[in-house]
Chains A and B, each alone.
Chain A
């Protein structure tokens, strides 16, 4: 399968712990995005990379959140000192450039903070 993959698919953690999620985009895609989705809502944009450069960050991305994309390949999203409000589905997407540039989404990582 050559789609976007995310790991882990599910994560349960205790409040205050740190968690890290990984996203592997489609290999030739130079753009990578992170979104967060809570129950009954559409995905909310968190951040965007073009190659290894993080070009845009949402105000939703507090200081406890950090994302990296070393070498412009896979990406990681880390949440430090998790809070119950961080419980959500974290979605990764990738795309090529151009006016089409449709985004291909992974299956998501569901985070539950207890």
Chain B
């Protein structure tokens, strides 16, 4: 399974944009990039996913580098409720493996 590397922690001020980076230099052509977040005392929550093109949804945007060796999750206006651990995960659907391999993620702290 391809690995991802994320900073252990980041801080942001409330109502400012946050860019959470993820490196995945060994990504294969069929790996999808998934982002989940985990709020305190809750199970992980799906945020967004993509393959090659940048993606937007109501929660966030995902910017994928042209060589796909890195990606960035963008929260456009951080709120206190966005304080969580954010996980970047690669998932290879065509192989038939449906499990996620989580790393330790990035703990985002949002300052009021």
Contacts and interface: CB of A to CB of B under 8 A. Distances in A.
Interface string A37-69: 000111111001000000010100000000000
B103 A42 contact: yes
Given A93-B43, A100-B49, A107-B42, A31 B98 contact: yes
A101 B98 contact: yes
Contact of A48 (B43, B49, B98, B102): B98
Nearest to B41: A107
Given A42-B87, A99-B93, A100-B49, A106 B43 contact: yes
Interface residues of B, number: 21
A56 B103 contact: no
A41 B107 CA distance: 11
Interface string A91-114: 101010001111111111000000
Contacts of B87: 42
A74 interface: no
A33 interface: yes
B10 interface: no
B102 A42 contact: yes
B69 to A, nearest CB: 21
B21 interface: no
A105 B49 contact: no
Interface string B93-110: 100011111111100000
A103 B93 CA distance: 13
Given A40-B104, A104-B46, A48 B34 contact: no
B105 to A, nearest CB: 6
B15 interface: no
7 contacts: A35-B100, A35-B102, A42-B87, A93-B43, A101-B98, A102-B49, A107-B41
Interface of B: 32, 34, 41-46, 49, 85, 87, 93, 97-105
